[in-house]
């Protein structure tokens, strides 16, 4: 059996939360979120991180990782592309 009182309480809580988010929505100015900790930051922030040292460090690390991944991709595709180009060249010559 469902406790009607509890249900009513839950509904009241939910609707009050909903009303709260609606009334608060108008006050929020355009902003972005730190890509590391998701703190609200200035929309002009570049890179898209807050001013916390750990976020700056993590962002730098991520950028370095991305660079490494990109280089690895180049090498990886290069390994496939070189024999392919070579085969193409020899077939054109032959």
Compute the least distance from the CB of residue 62 to Zn ion, in Å. 12
CA–CA dist 78, 71 (Å, integer): 10
Compute the least distance from the CB of residue 39 to Zn ion, in Å. 5
What is the helix (H) or strand (E) element at residue 9, kind and residue range?
A: helix 4-25
Residues engaged in binding Zn ion (CB under 5 A):
34, 36-37, 39, 50, 52, 55
Compute the least distance from the CB of residue 89 to Zn ion, in Å. 51
Q: Which residue, 52 or 64, is less far from Zn ion as judged by CB?
A: 52
Tokens of 45: 């922030």
């Amino acid at each position: 059996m469902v406790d009607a009182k509890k249900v009513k309480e839950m509904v009241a809580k939910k609707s009050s939360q909903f009303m709260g988010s609606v009334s608060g929505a108008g006050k929020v100015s355009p902003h972005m979120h730190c890509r590391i900790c998701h703190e609200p930051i200035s929309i002009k922030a570049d890179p898209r991180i807050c001013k916390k040292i750990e976020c700056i460090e993590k962002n730098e690390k991520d950028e370095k990782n991305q660079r490494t991944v990109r280089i690895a991709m180049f090498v990886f595709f290069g390994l496939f592309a070189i024999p392919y180009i070579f085969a193409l060249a020899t077939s054109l010559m032959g």
